[in-house]
Amino acid sequence: MPNKKTTLFPLYLIISFINLWAGHTNNNTLIFFSKPLLMPVLALWFYFQTREKNSSFRQLILFALFFSWGGDTLLMFVESKGEHFFLFGLLSFLLTHILYISVFFKSVSLKNGFIWKNKWIVIPFLVFFLGFQNYLLPDVEKTMQIPISIYSSVIILMVIAALNWKDYINKQAFKFVFWGALLFMFSDSIIALNKFKSAIPQAHIWIMSLYLLGQYLIVRGNIEMMQK
């Protein structure tokens, strides 16, 4: 019988490539088939990789992947069902980021981590946040400006929380998690630019490539940390 630990990750890769190909060829049917499968498969892979390490830490990651699945699914209905699905999707991903922040600070607290001892490192992230907000918000409807600002603040905090792991967990786990959080942030940034500024060629490819790799790296990093 195939080992679920070894078969689920290749399945995640296959579905990812199917989704990216569907986006490249504008095959909406294939997108609707593949996209809702991605996070459940990644969650199952994480579940079987860590089932001997049952803890609240592990449960938070599974919940984060659940809300990521919710965000993926809800955002598929924006064009057909209305803009309120964008807000629902935004809320679902907001909960994802909050859960990841909880995971990162649960393993390495703010006052005991890298950020507290290197406070200057926060400056580039604040500059990116303020610059992005200044560039984006003038083209965003007033009713959406506060939700977008809150969401942007939270995802920046998620990246900072991931950076807080530096020098306090094994290097491989840190690299996976930090780069995963960074790619997740870039994916969300492209979503905002594509929606509120101007259409980006092959936006689906860029958004999903960064998102799928980012989610994998975050999960992989947590597996690495939990198995040490």
6 has a pLDDT exceeding 90: no
Q: What is the pLDDT of residue 4?
A: 61
pTM: 0.93
pLDDT value of residue 226: 82
Provide the residue ranges of all domains of the chain, joining segments of one domain with +.
4-227
Residue 174: band (very low, low, confident or very high) from pLDDT cuts 50, 70, 90: very high
The answer to whether the CB of 29 falls within 8 A of the CB of 48 is no
Confidence band of 225 (pLDDT split at 50, 70, 90)? confident
pLDDT band at 1 (very low <50, low <70, confident <90, very high): very low
* pLDDT category of residue 34 using cuts at 50, 70 and 90: very high
Q: Tell me if 164 sits within 8 A of 113, measured CB to CB.
A: yes
| pLDDT at residue 190, as a whole number | 94
CA end-to-end distance (rounded Å), the chain: 27
Does residue 120 surpass a pLDDT of 60? yes
| Tens digits of residue pLDDT in 54-67 | 788 899 999 999 99
> Is the confidence at residue 3, as pLDDT, over 60?
no
pLDDT of 82 higher than 90? no
DSSP assignment of 173-197 equals HHHHHHHHHHHHHHHHHHHHHHHHT
